[in-house]
Amino acid sequence: MKKGFFLRSALLATVLIVTLSLTAFGFTWPWEKDGGGGEVGVTDTEIVIGSHLDLSGPIAGWGVQAKLGMEKQAKEINDAGGIHGRMIRLVIEDNAYNPAQAITVTNKMINKDKVFMFIGNLGSPTAAATKPIISKKKIPQILPITAASLFFDPYDRYSFGGFLPYYDQARTLIMYFVKEKGKKRIGIMYQDDEMGAIMLKGVKDQLAEYGMEIIAAESYKRGATVFSTQMSKLKRANVDLVVTATVIRETVGALAEAKKLQWEVDMCGMTPAYTKYIPYLAGKSGFSADGYYAIGQNPYPYADHPNPKARQYIKDYTAMFGQAPDQPSLAGMQGIMIFEKVARAVGRDLTREKFIDTLETIGPIHEDVFDGVSLHYTKTSHQGAYDSMLFQIQNNKWVKIKGPFKYSD
């Protein structure tokens, strides 16, 4: 009898361990689908969408705004009756810009919240950490808020980019300044990490198209606050264009050093520098950032935007949250907009596989509120964005100079 008892206990313990292990790794039992026997995250009344954003860490300014943009767009859809009678329910978790925390909350959203898909996961290191987990479960993930190319290259059926890759941005800048501004001596100040390396490669490869080479390349360590050495060396090299492969603080630091050196040189950057904080922080430091160029994907969301849809959006957003939208708000808005367009096209019988098939074949998706670049996915490419726009700071505001265009034009 004791032998039988111990055998039964051992069997029960084994079953429990296996069950817990499978659940921890995201295994979905057949009976864990929605009550109607349909797709995970889709019921008769709602569609569950997940996202992990930095809400408490170093880029929480981006995460909070992206969250508000997603929430506003979802509310508008729900207030209008939802998508084929289903309401959108958002599950948004804080990744704190920490890959380990991003993995934890992603597993929670997959296993506990049973999300249908992910939209707008924020941050290159955090979204990269969770990408293989999500794709392995065959869950769609679209528009991560990062320009890293790993979300579409190599091709992954379940992963869709949305921002023009840094490599393409760098090539576009060089194309413009060489062909349209006649620049001949190009220098770069770049962050000594993966982001800076891919930006540097884009600059070098586009220069090679014109039989040119980079004149000077000065790096800095992430977290650096002093850039006098780099900018002094670039000036001594007599470059006529400085590409800043930088984020916000470093961009302002480079501009400040140019002012100290009394160096009137054209300077340009990429999407990490396309933010209102460049002219704002420059002004706080006692100088103007006027003249600086940057790549972006949509005109800045100023209250006097030329599109009446944008002006109404800004008015509604401000009334709803007590603050004006910023670039991350638009990223959150666009992710939900694209989901709505595709989900409506799929119809009432919404599944993950049908969503992906439709997104790959629906054709160009236009952003007609803030007049941003179109996104286009196919069965062989999930890059999404191929065009960009060029902006310049004039009178402390970003003004569109050119675009949409691409370096292959």
- Are 185 and 215 in contact by the 8 Å Cβ rule? The answer is yes
- Tens of pLDDT along 58-112? 888 889 999 999 999 999 999 999 999 999 999 999 999 999 999 999 999 999 9
Q: For residues 275 and 184, state if they share a domain.
A: yes
pLDDT at 38 (0 to 100) = 79
Q: For residues 160 and 175, state if they share a domain.
A: no
Please indicate, yes or no, if residue 259 is contained in any of the structural domains. Answer: yes
- Tens of pLDDT along 172-202? 999 999 999 999 999 999 999 888 999 999 9
The whole domain housing 112 covers 38-164+308-378
Q: For residues 291 and 177, state if they share a domain.
A: yes
Please indicate, yes or no, if residue 19 is contained in any of the structural domains. Answer: no
Instruction: Provide the pLDDT confidence category of residue 13 given band limits of 50, 70 and 90.
Output: very low
For residue 11, pLDDT over 60 is answered with no
- Phi-psi domain of 283 (left: phi exceeds 0; alpha: psi -120 through 50; beta: other): alpha
Please indicate, yes or no, if residue 7 is contained in any of the structural domains. Answer: no
Q: For residues 180 and 158, state if they share a domain.
A: no
Q: For residues 205 and 237, state if they share a domain.
A: yes
- Phi-psi domain of 349 (left: phi exceeds 0; alpha: psi -120 through 50; beta: other): beta
- Tens of pLDDT along 296-317? 999 999 999 999 999 999 999 9
Write down the residue that tokens 């065009």 correspond to.
387
Please indicate, yes or no, if residue 32 is contained in any of the structural domains. Answer: no
Q: For residues 258 and 396, state if they share a domain.
A: yes
pLDDT at 409 (0 to 100) = 85
Q: For residues 98 and 219, state if they share a domain.
A: no
Please indicate, yes or no, if residue 247 is contained in any of the structural domains. Answer: yes
Q: How many domains does the chain have?
A: 2
**Structure tokens that stand for 252 in this block:** 């302002």
Cα separation, 71 vs 325, whole angstroms: 12
Please indicate, yes or no, if residue 384 is contained in any of the structural domains. Answer: no
Q: In what order do the strands lie in the sheet with 384-385?
A: 365-367, 372-376, 384-385
Mean pLDDT of the 123-145 span: 96
Q: For residues 112 and 237, state if they share a domain.
A: no
Q: Residues with Cβ < 8 Å from 385, sequence gap 6 or more?
A: 161, 162, 163, 164, 297, 373, 375
Please indicate, yes or no, if residue 29 is contained in any of the structural domains. Answer: no
Please indicate, yes or no, if residue 33 is contained in any of the structural domains. Answer: no
**Structure tokens that stand for 253 in this block:** 């630091």
Q: For residues 152 and 194, state if they share a domain.
A: no
For residue 28, pLDDT over 80 is answered with no
End-to-end CA distance of the chain: 82
Question: What CATH number is attached to the domain comprising 173?
Answer: 3.40.50.2300
Task: Tell me the whole-structure pTM to 2 decimals.
Answer: 0.84
- Tens of pLDDT along 340-386? 999 999 999 999 999 999 999 999 999 999 999 999 999 999 999 99
Q: For residues 283 and 137, state if they share a domain.
A: no
Q: For residues 172 and 287, state if they share a domain.
A: yes
- Are 304 and 277 in contact by the 8 Å Cβ rule? The answer is no
Q: For residues 260 and 348, state if they share a domain.
A: no
